[in-house]
Structure 1
Amino acid sequence: MSRVDLHAHTTISDGTLTPRELVELAVEKGLVALGITDHDTTDGVPEALRAGQELGLWVVPGVELNTDTEDGHLDILGYFIDISNKELQATLSEIRNARYYRAKRMVEKLRELGRPISFERVLELSTEGAVGRPHVAQALLEAGYVSSISEAFELYIGRHGPAYADRYRMSPEEACALVRRAGGVPSLAHPTPASDPFSDPKDLNRLLPILRDAGLGALECYYPGYTSDVSAWLLSLAERFDLIPTGGSDFHGAAKPDIDLGMVEVPLEYVERLRAATSKQ
């Protein structure tokens, strides 16, 4: 079990544990550092910081920003951000507002497809946090239209599904710049699929220098399903492009039951390097 997990979600976005519960679980598992990286919101960070201070856990304030490219999408993690930064919070508020109307549009499309669900229930499932497709999927599951969350994505709300609605569009370069202006270090999340990592669909040798010029400072080299060979390859890329290696489980609690907090081994030194990098900005 690792002592570090820099990629975890709470009920403030699409996880199933509250920020405090997540911190308590991290302490129970013997972690010494935990990154709170909810989608498009930092609202869970203050509670996690308080719990971390009380229980002796190093909580890293973070966020995960969903971005789009011509070829698909990329996720940018921001570490050691200043959550009081006004520009950051204004942008996150705009994104969350777009998430609300996106979810509402998907519910409307599902009704047109003969699969009515309650939008109010979708909002309840988000616990007033950043509403997203997982909450729509859960509502579909509860209504008996699908047998699993993954089936909801496959049949209805996946990127090419009949109830899919487009999302707020931010480029990865814009996300990197935003994280930097908020005093943090941007990291490219899950840069290659665990199912076929060496297929390298993002063409990392081409992509990483572009993002590095835009402010990217780190690369997620440790992730569920990455073998030691995959991590070694990603570590070599991180070294080549002067990026700090990061890693984590992408923990969501019961929403992803096969993923356990701290299941990915991440060296503590990388957390220290991330913090040091913020002081140099």
Structure 2
Amino acid sequence: MRIDPHTHSSCSDGTDSPAALMARAAEAGLDVVGLTDHDTTAGWAEAAGAVGSTGVALLRGTEVSCAVDGVTLHLLAYLFDVEAPGLTEAFEHARTSRSTRARQMVELLAADYPITWEDVEAQAAGAVTIGRPHIADALVAAGSFDSRGVAFAGPLATASPYYVRHWALDPVRACELVRAAGGVPVAAHPRAASRQRRLVPDAVFADMTDAGLAALEVDHRDHGPAEREQARELARYLGIGTSGSSDYHGAGKPNRLGENLMPPALLEQIVGEGSIPLVTA
């Protein structure tokens, strides 16, 4: 069974609609795909509607914005009840903060680059969550950079003077909220040092495990061999599972669907512990 549990649609910072994402998952030979847009479940219904025509099962999820002591960490939340209190409110808070942060960054960038907020909105094309990828796309469209990646390595980097932080949940609290909503939390790319200067300490992952963390995403494009082994060893120490994913964003990144996969045993655990089912044909 080929399971890619971490992808993004145009509802956040991907370039494919949820239905198009499902079609591409079928073309990639996937059996199950996880739709995990940032801080939103807006794409779930459309993706679920494409399950029958594509034959690809849908693992419903969200990538939750978290941070501890100024260090960003993303948490994949699977199969939770969207009606449960707490988690949905956190998503709304994060989306509002991301939008405010994006506007502030555009104001700073506009002093040196030909970019406006209207340019960013045009690139977002109705996305529920507007973030740095849309700013990057606007900079590319303006001719300032050749690609999202180059823009992220320059003015959109966390160390850049144009960078502005946004509100994010404490990761331990996030695990508690996901479990309270009947969901299953998995830490996304926990050793992706290229994304920022510092990493979340191991002690935080231990506290997250006590709060219900099910696994670490080990096999990821942003993890080299050393980082994968570090993450795998940490998961062994914590007594939790390991996962893998593409973190696919469509045309926005080079990540390919199915380039890393989730073990079927972990999917079985998530389905067994989640409060809503896998969507199957």
- SS for the counterpart of 1:169 is coil
1:215 lines up with 2:220 in the alignment? no
Q: Distance in 1 between matches of 2:200 and 2:41?
A: 27
Could you say what secondary structure the match of 1:156 adopts? coil
**Structure 1 position 192 matched with structure 2 position 195:** no
- Show the counterpart of 2:78: 79
Contact kept, 8 Å, 2:104 with 2:164, in 1: the verdict is yes
Contact preservation (8 Å) 2:191, 2:231: no
Tell me the distance in 2 between the aligned counterparts of 1:153 and 1:80. Answer: 31
Deviations 1:183-213 (A, max 9, x none): 1111111111377xxxx94443x33211112
CA positional deviation for 1:231 = 4.6
Contact kept in structure 2, 1:37 and 1:62, CA below 8 Å? yes
Secondary structure of the structure 2 residue equivalent to 1:68? strand
SS in 1 for 2:154: helix
Number of the residue aligned with 1:55: 54
Question: How far did 1:126 drift?
Answer: 1.6
CA contact (8 A) 1:61 1:83 kept: no
1:47 offset after TM fit, Å? 0.9
Change (3 A) 1:53 1:88: farther
CA contact (8 A) 2:75 2:185 kept: yes
What's the secondary structure of 1:41's corresponding residue? coil
Aligned residue for 2:154?
A: 155
Matched to 1:73, the amino acid is T
Do residues 274 (structure 1) and 273 (structure 2) align? no
Indicate the residue corresponding to 2:101 in structure 1: 102
- CA deviation after TM superposition for structure 1 residue 49, in Å: 1.3
Q: 1:147 to 1:233 in 2, by over 3 A?
A: closer
Secondary structure in 1 matching 2:50: helix
SS of structure 1 residue aligned to 2:95: helix
Residue of structure 2 equivalent to 1:244: 241
Q: Which amino acid aligns with 2:159?
A: H
Q: Relative to structure 1, is the Cα distance of residues 191 and 47 closer, same or farther in structure 2, using a 3 angstrom cutoff?
A: same
Give the TM-score of the pair, scaled to structure 2: 0.87
Percent identical among aligned pairs is 36
Amino acid at match of 1:122: V
Contact 1:244–1:273 (CA under 8 A) maintained in structure 2: no
Q: Is the 8 A contact 1:185 1:218 kept in 2?
A: no
Letter in 1 for 2:84: N
CA pair 226-93 structure 1, distance change in 2 beyond 3 A: closer
Amino acid across the alignment from 1:85: A
Using the alignment, how far apart are the partners of 2:229 and 2:238 within structure 1? 14
Of 151-160 and 226-235, deviating more is 226-235
Greater displacement, 151-160 / 15-24: 151-160
Displacement of 1:31 in angstroms is 0.9
Provide the secondary structure at the position in 2 that maps to 1:170: coil
1:117, CA displacement in angstroms?
1.3
Aligned pairs for 1:1-281 within 5 A: 3-70=2-69, 72-111=71-110, 113-129=111-127, 130-193=129-192, 201-204=199-202, 206-224=203-221, 226=223, 231=228, 234-257=231-254, 259-278=255-274
Is the CA contact 2:182–2:273 (under 8 Å) kept in the aligned structure 1?
Answer: no
Q: Give the superposition deviation at 1:8.
A: 0.5
Structure 1's 138 and 72: CA in aligned 2 closer, same or farther, altered over 3 A? Answer: same
Q: Is the 8 A contact 2:219 2:244 kept in 1?
A: yes
- Amino acid in structure 2 at the alignment position of 1:170: L
Alpha-carbon distance change, 114 to 226 in structure 1, aligned in 2, over 3 angstroms: closer
1:61 positional shift: 0.8
Change (3 A) 1:18 1:139: same
Indicate if the aligned counterparts of 1:3 and 1:265 stay in contact, CA closer than 8 A: yes
For the 8 Å contact 2:191–2:223, the answer to whether it is kept is no
Deviation at 1:86, TM superposition (A): 4.4
What is the CA distance between 1:116 and its match in structure 2?
3.6
RMSD: 2.5
**Compared CA separation, residues 273 and 163, structure 1 to 2 (3 A):** same
Q: Give the gaps of 5 or more residues in structure 2.
A: 276-281
> What do residues 92-131 of structure 1 show as CA deviations (whole Å, max 9, x unaligned)?
12221222211111111122x2324121221222222210
